[in-house]
Amino acid sequence: MSINSLEYLEMADAANKWDQQDETASSAKVSASKRQQAAARRRIEMLRDIRECGLTIEEAKELGLLH
């Protein structure tokens, strides 16, 4: 089989499929990491707010602010 017998459209379709699979795999990893970072930021902000209010961790748990 020579290079001239390959069709450009077939090659382009195969390349697009590979690119899409790579992008979805990497975006899933990135989005999971970003979700974890966002959750950590929310927890930090909540703890800062609790500290600013003058509550202890135990009091915050009793009030249902922390789990």
Rounded mean pLDDT for each run of 10 residues along the chain, 67 residues in total: 63 69 64 90 92 91 87
Q: What is the pLDDT of residue 66?
A: 82
Using CA atoms, how far residue 3 sits from 7, 11, 54, in Å, is 9, 11, 74
Cβ neighbours around 25 below 10 Å, total:
10
What tokens does 62 get?
A: 């009793």
What is the CA angle 21-23-26, rounded to 5? 105
Query: pTM to 2 decimals?
Result: 0.51
Q: What's residue 32's pLDDT? A: 86
